[in-house]
Chains A and B, each alone.
Chain A
């Protein structure tokens, strides 16, 4: 993917094609304006980084969903999502939110989409917590298998299991425990 001529369509097509190199194109094009927005509205550059990356993740996940339709420019979308997230963050930090200074037009992220974004965050938080509670070596084993998608053979080699079947049994036990922990998180959140 070449720079300069990166139309929104090309970027979206590339992302759907699993070409992640466009991520750095998005970064170069749009981080500056989000950074400016966050800093003007009493955030730091670190805040800007976190918010912008969250917005990219939201955008990325939406694009991967074939049903999603982008109704505005990517720039506007990223700005709108960042804006929404930053507002949420400062509202959490203090009861009083001063006037927000805007630099560009933004679209309203509708409630169902905002809810979806939040739900994804919650699920992520629950899984992170469950994996944290799971401890080693289970955590790495699960991550290697489900995320890095290593084969059972590679895993048994890495963990020093005598054979792949042994590794499979170990993985099964780990997964059962993770499941318990994960659904426990769910209950906890419902309380």
Chain B
């Protein structure tokens, strides 16, 4: 290790503070003393680094001061910030503005469209009534001429939901759906319509069984579901599929009570939001068993709907087989829906659920 004296000499040499002769002497020393040379180079580097560091620090301080004086204090700075914001975000803002414009326009269009729709359907109803009147006067005319009746295609007066009871053309629905019908048609998923006749009605349970009479109806292979003869449990998840509108609508909820409206023991109370047109649809449990048939809802109470118990349906059908029906019919006992996801259950079910279209002459 070099002594303090050597070191001081070295520093003075680097600073150029040594006299010419002293410096000469020191340089000769450097040539012979490798350790001193090494030390000197290191120290030189250190000094330069510190100097560069210092220069930069001082320069930076000066620039900060200038920045404060020239940029930060100017009155336009505030204005600048707005400008800056605009420059940075104008693209985003342009996109946002066009999106909101689009939304506004489409909302307005949608509202307008809705209005038109409502007006159209209001018109539609009125028109239908007119059509009925025309039809009647036409009929009178036709009767006068003693010619045969022609089938007219007109919108149904009422509609509800129904589903296959057997694979060979028997369907079950609510009695109130078809109560005052002159004629009943069923319409399947593929918008095919078949004429049906009512073969059984039960006031007490509000169920009706229809039979398809159109010759073009093809029998199903087999039903994927079965009616359960066990009681449903309160709290059980249940769902239904029905036609409150043109398209099939899914609704789900729970079995909320073991009895129906005003203590009616042939029905369950369920908590599924239902609308006119849902009547006659199947009530299905998680495993895909049919546990009931949607019958209606209580108007004054929110969230209370009712379904006829499958047990009631089974016992009625068994009675029926004994007396009125010649051949009787067997209910499917095999359920293929257990263990499937809800989506797949619905895929399997949807072909067996139909719209019941009812025509009458008011």
Contacts and interface: CB of A to CB of B under 8 A. Distances in A.
Given A23-B62, A27-B67, A147-B53, A45 B46 contact: no
Interface string A143-166: 100111000000000000000000
A182 interface: yes
Contacts of B62: 20, 23
Given A23-B62, A45-B84, A183-B42, A31 B70 contact: yes
Interface string A164-191: 0000110010010011001100000000
A88 interface: no
A56 B66 CA distance: 12
Interface stretch (A73-81, A106-114, A118-126): A118-126
Contacts of B63: 23, 27, 53, 56-57
Contact of B56 (A45, A124, A142, A182): A124
Contacts of A148: 54
B56 to A, nearest CB: 6
Contacts of A42: 88
A68 to B, nearest CB: 15
B56 A24 contact: no
Nearest to B56: A124
A165 B69 CA distance: 42
Contacts of A49: 67, 71
Contact of B50 (A36, A56, A147): A147
Given A39-B87, A45-B84, A172-B4, A123 B49 contact: yes
A123 B46 CA distance: 10
A28 interface: yes
B104 interface: no
Contacts of B43: 179
A31 B54 CA distance: 24
A98 to B, nearest CB: 11
Nearest to B57: A147
B141 interface: no
Contacts, number: 81
B50 A23 contact: no
B60 A146 contact: no
A14 B8 CA distance: 36
B253 to A, nearest CB: 49
Interface residues of B, number: 32
A39 B47 contact: no
A59 B79 CA distance: 30
Interface of B is mostly: helix
Contacts of B66: 23-24, 27
Nearest to B53: A127
Interface residues of A, number: 38
Contacts of A124: 52-53, 56
A128 B53 contact: yes
A40 interface: yes
Contact of A147 (B8, B54, B84, B88): B54
Given A39-B84, A172-B7, A183-B42, A127 B50 contact: yes
B46 A182 contact: yes
B51 interface: yes
Most chain A CB inside 10 Å of its own CB: which residue of B4, B55, B84, B87: B84
Given A120-B52, A124-B56, A128-B53, A146 B47 contact: yes
B50 to A, nearest CB: 4
Contacts of B46: 175, 178-179, 182
A11 interface: no
Nearest to A28: B70
Interface string B56-87: 11111011101101110000000011001001
Interface string A34-77: 01100110100100010001001100110000000000000000
B69 A131 contact: no
B88 A39 contact: yes
Contacts of A28: 70
Interface of B: 4, 7-8, 42-43, 46-47, 49-60, 62-64, 66-67, 69-71, 80-81, 84, 87-88
Interface of A: 20, 23-24, 27-28, 31, 35-36, 39-40, 42, 45, 49, 53, 56-57, 60-61, 120, 123-124, 126-128, 131, 142-143, 146-148, 168-169, 172, 175, 178-179, 182-183
28 contacts: A23-B59, A23-B66, A24-B70, A27-B70, A31-B67, A31-B70, A31-B71, A39-B87, A39-B88, A42-B88, A53-B63, A56-B63, A57-B63, A60-B59, A61-B55, A120-B52, A123-B49, A127-B50, A146-B50, A146-B54, A147-B50, A147-B53, A147-B58, A148-B54, A172-B4, A172-B7, A179-B42, A179-B43
Given A24-B70, A45-B84, A57-B60, 7 more contacts: A23-B59, A24-B66, A45-B80, A127-B52, A172-B7, A182-B49, A183-B42
5 closest pairs, A vs B, by CB?
Answer: A147-B54, A127-B53, A146-B50, A24-B66, A53-B63
